[in-house]
Structure 1
Amino acid sequence: MNILIAEDNQVIQLLNAKLMRDWGFEFDMVSNGIEAVEYAQRNRGRYDLYLMDIEMPKMNGIEATRRIRGSTPYFPIMALTVRTDYRPSCFAAGMDAFSEKTCAPDQLLQAIKELTVKLTLINSSDVNVVSIKEATPVNHDELQELRALKSKGLTKLKLVGLDHVFVVHKNIQNKISHDLIGECKELSEFIDRSPSEPGRCHLYKTNLHVTKDLFLPEELEDAIRREDEVAMKFSNATDRRISE
C-alpha cells in the first residue's frame, strides 16, 4: 500500500505518519496544494490513495484535486477536513470520499481499505509467461462497483487484451496462480458470478482462452458453495509471474 498525504498541520502530519508506519503502509507527505499536484504528476501510477486536506497554503485541496484529475491516471482521493460544508465541492472536483478531520484511527483504516479495493488483471506477454496482479480501478464508477462487490466477498477479473470481464470470488487470482504454477496445470477453473450469465469458466494457460459452461438455476448455489470452500484456502493476495 502506497499513500500520498497532503497536510500542512505538523501535528497531524506526525499523527498520520505514525499511523501509516503502524499499519505497514508506504507513504509520501506534502504540505501544500502545489506539492500535492507535483507529487501526483511525478509519480504516476505509484499511489493507491491520496488523503487530501482542503485548507492548505499556496493551493487548496479542491483545486489540487481538479488539476490532478485533469493530468494523471485515476486513483482514489479522500478529503479530510474540519469543514463539512466543503463536501459538495470536494465531490464536484472529483474526490471519491469525504471525512471530517480528525477521524478515529480505526475509521480511517476502514476507509482506506474500502477505497483501495482492486480488480484482478490476467495478462500474457507470450505463450510461456502469464502475469496475475491487482490493479487500481480506472474511474470512480468502477471503484464504486468494486466496493459493492467487496462487501459480498467478490471482485472483478479482467483478461488483458481480450476484453473479458468476470465477477469472481475475491481469492480466485490466488487459486489460478496455484493451479498454473503450483500444480503445473494447463488450465484453471473458476465460477463467473455475473448475474446476467453465471457459469463455470475454463481458463487455458497458453493463450488465456476461456470457455464457459452455463449453470442451470438449481446448480448455481451448490457450485458457488463448493468454490467458496476451495477459494478460502487461498487468502493471501500477491502479484505473481507464472512461467512454464
Structure 2
Amino acid sequence: MILPPPCPAPFGCGSGRRGLEAQTGSTMGGAQTRVRQLDPDLLERTGFSPEQINNLHKRFQQLSENKETISRESLNRIPALANNPIRSQIVEAFFDKRNQHGSEVGSLEEITFEQFLMVMSHFRPPTLKMTDEEKEAARREKLRFLFNMHDTDGDGTITLAEYRKVVEELLSKCGTIGQEAAKEITDAAMLEVASTNAPHMGPEDFYEGITFQHFEQILKGLEMESRMHIRFLDTATMHCGKS
C-alpha cells in the first residue's frame, strides 16, 4: 500500500439507543429530536433520504448538546476517536470548506447541521438507482475527501512533509517503529509512486507534491464502498464500515 488506506466513515451508528459510534464500537448516545423542516434542496445535494437526515440530526444534537453548531472541541471529546492516530485529520475534515461541495477553501470555526450533512454525504452508500456515471462521481468525491485530508495546507498537492506527518501519526502507536523508520517508509513510498505513476519524472521532482490526478491513479481500482460508507438499515438504525 503506497498511501495509508482510506479512512472508514468517522462516525458509524449503532442500533436502538446506542446512538452514534465510531468503527471501534464505542458509543456516544443520540438525541431523539427530529428535524422539523427539511429543505428539498438539501435532500438533493446530500443524497440522503428524510429518514436518514433525521437519524443524523439526532446524532448532531447529541454532539452539539442541542446547540445549532458543533465545534472541534465537541468532536475531539468523542471517546471512540481518542486513540485514533489520525484523529486530528478526521476532525479537521469536518471544518474544511473544501468538503462542502463548493469551491471555497479555508477552515470553519464551527459547523451547522447542514454543513455537517454535507461532510457526511461523502460517506453515503451507493443506491441501485445510481447510473455508472453517478457511481463514478461518488467515488471521485470520496477520493477528493481523502486527498483533502492529506493536503493539509490546501494548495492542491500532497507534499512529502504532509505525507510523512500522516505516516508518522499512523505508526505512532507502534512502539517498535521510530521516527527515522517512519521517514524511511515515507520516502520509499513516494519513490514507488514516482516510479509506477510518473516514470518520466525524477524523485526530486515528484517530491514537490502529489496532485489529485496522481492520487486517483494511486488508488485506481481500490474498492471504496466498504471503507467509506454509512449503511442505513432503517429509520432507527445505521451502521458504517464493513458488515
TM-score by length of 2: 0.30
TM-score by length of 1: 0.30
Name whichever structure is richer in strand by fraction: 1
Q: Which has the larger radius of gyration?
A: 1
Name whichever structure is richer in helix by fraction: 2
Comparing both chains, which one has the higher relative contact order based on Cα–Cα distances under 8 Å and sequence gaps of 6 or more?
2
